């Protein structure tokens, strides 16, 4: 009986391989390989970690899902003050569409299943916040869903819940990832200005930055509990946060410290600091997982000034934690947040105080500057390679 089961399984594999043009004669006696076992014990329902040394291994250019590959190639730019989204065609480097959304759109967030792009309209902390869905196949918005104070949004790595970051409320709202119905909330009373997050390699916890508290908050994402806080030494305004390829180190951009703090996520301790530039803000990994791009906004102020001569982008080598390149913005600028193109050749960043978007060559640092709406913020690049999104401007794994 066991022999018959093995032969039956082999025939299924042969049928599948025959469609790929492989020689059936050679496939008939080949053993059926056992599924690869991940060395990381993830939470139930979370896709396995393919390479524990590089959590970004599945976001290389060749790993675009078939359905995602059919989506329009576009850059979606939420404009905070003009309350709309500018849509850029990367082929022509021009704005090809612009549509209104809710008040104070902050980020465009790809859903866990990569089929919806959500605009987080937090209405400056009022009860009039909303989430506007964008269909990435057509590039058009749908009907907004009322949601309280959605400054930013993430998804648990198992895809079961969206986490709406209610910044003004100092609260994390765990919601249905499709309907946005509220499941439960986690209060973070000491985390003033809670906004950006990164997850552990196994999906069991996330670390959130507290912009106006100079600290971090660690949250149990399975049991929906606050674990504790970490005050950053010498920090003042932590912003974006990103995990190293092996997920052992969390990098925290601090706009007042002018650099990136390193933190051990498991022990929740500060381990170092890397100076980058004035107003350190957004952090994004390269497609090969070797470097991270750090946007230095050029100012310690929340609302300006434009054309800062200190605005630039730092490139940090993950292996050495050293800045290996610095790209200044010609004429001054305010690089804020964004993402990397699917092929890894362009870094797209909003110019927050200059009402522009920068398309930066990741080899030379040369850039194209594209005018958009008023005060662009967390833009996303689409499509992107990867299996699922954990949120923000499209951090995929």
Structural domain boundaries in the chain: 61-382
Question: Can you tell me the mean pLDDT for 34-41?
Answer: 65
Read off the pLDDT band of 38 (50, 70, 90): low
Q: Say what the pLDDT of residue 327 is.
A: 98
Does pLDDT of 29 surpass 70?
Answer: no
Token digits of residue 127: 């009860």
Cβ distance 155 to 389 under 8 Å?
yes
pLDDT tier at 32 (50, 70, 90 boundaries)?
Answer: very low
Q: What is the pLDDT of residue 34?
A: 41
**pLDDT at position 4 over 60:** no
What pLDDT was estimated at residue 15? 34
Whether residue 37 has pLDDT greater than 60 = no
- What is the C-alpha separation between 75 and 95, in angstroms, rounded? 9
Per-residue pLDDT reduced to its tens digit, 81-107: 999 999 999 999 999 999 999 999 999
Confidence of residue 125 (pLDDT cuts 50, 70, 90): confident
Asked whether the beta carbons of 282 and 253 are under 8 A apart, the reply is: yes
Give percent of the chain with pLDDT exceeding 90.
87
Cis ω before 383 (30° cut-off from 0): yes
Q: Mean pLDDT, to the nearest integer, of 32-61?
A: 85
Is the pLDDT score of 326 beyond 60?
A: yes
Res 374 pLDDT > 50: yes
Q: How does strand 74-79 pair with strand 380-382?
A: antiparallel
Over residues 235-251, the pLDDT tens digits come to: 789 999 999 999 999 99
For residue 6, give the H/E element and its range: helix 2-18
Asked if residue 393 lies in contact with residue 106, where contact means CB atoms within 8 angstroms, the answer is: no
Question: Given a cut of 70, is residue 131 above it in pLDDT?
Answer: yes
Task: Report pLDDT for 16.
Answer: 34
Q: Enter the CATH code of domain 61-382.
A: 2.130.10.10
Instruction: Give the Cα separation of 73 and 88 in Å (integer).
Output: 9
Using one digit for the tens of pLDDT, what is the confidence trace for 178-232?
999 999 999 999 999 999 999 999 999 999 999 999 999 999 999 999 999 999 9
Share of the chain above pLDDT 70, in %: 90
């Amino acid at each position: 009986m066991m022999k018959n089961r093995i032969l039956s399984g082999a025939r299924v594999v042969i049928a599948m391989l025959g469609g790929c043009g492989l020689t059936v004669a050679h496939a008939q006696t080949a053993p059926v390989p056992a599924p690869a076992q991940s060395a990381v014990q993830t939470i139930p329902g979370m896709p396995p970690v393919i390479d524990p040394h590089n959590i970004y291994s599945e976001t290389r250019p060749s790993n675009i899902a078939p359905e995602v590959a059919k989506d329009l190639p576009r850059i979606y730019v939420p404009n905070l003050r003009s309350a709309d989204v500018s849509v850029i065609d990367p082929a022509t480097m021009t704005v090809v569409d612009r549509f209104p959304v809710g008040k104070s759109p902050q980020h465009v967030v790809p859903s866990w299943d990569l089929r919806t792009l959500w605009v987080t309209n937090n209405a400056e902390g009022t009860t009039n916040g909303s989430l506007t869905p964008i269909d990435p196949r057509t590039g058009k918005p749908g009907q907004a869903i009322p949601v309280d104070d959605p400054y930013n949004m993430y998804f648990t790595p198992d895809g079961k819940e969206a986490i709406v970051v209610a910044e003004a409320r100092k609260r994390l709202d765990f919601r249905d990832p499709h309907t946005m119905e509220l499941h439960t909330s986690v209060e973070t009373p000491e985390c003033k200005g809670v906004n950006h997050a990164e997850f552990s390699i196994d999906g069991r916890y996330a670390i959130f930055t507290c912009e106006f508290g100079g600290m971090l908050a660690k949250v149990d994402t399975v049991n929906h509990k606050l674990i504790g806080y970490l005050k950053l030494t010498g920090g003042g305004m932590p912003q974006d946060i990103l995990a190293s390829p092996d997920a052992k180190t969390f990098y925290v951009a601090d706009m007042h410290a002018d650099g990136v703090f390193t933190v051990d996520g498991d022990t929740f301790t500060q381990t170092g600091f890397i100076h980058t530039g004035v107003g350190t803000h957004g952090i994004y990994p390269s497609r090969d997982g070797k470097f991270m791009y750090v946007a230095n906004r050029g100012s310690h102020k929340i609302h300006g000034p434009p054309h800062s001569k200190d605005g630039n982008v730092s490139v940090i080598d993950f292996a050495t934690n050293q800045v290996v390149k610095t790209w200044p913005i010609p004429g001054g600028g305010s690089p804020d947040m964004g993402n990397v193109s699917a092929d890894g050749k362009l870094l797209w960043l909003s110019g927050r105080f200059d009402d522009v978007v920068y398309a930066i060559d990741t080899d030379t640092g040369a850039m194209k500057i594209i005018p958009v709406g008023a005060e662009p913020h967390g833009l996303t690049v689409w499509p992107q390679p990867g299996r699922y999104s954990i949120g923000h401007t499209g951090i995929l794994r």
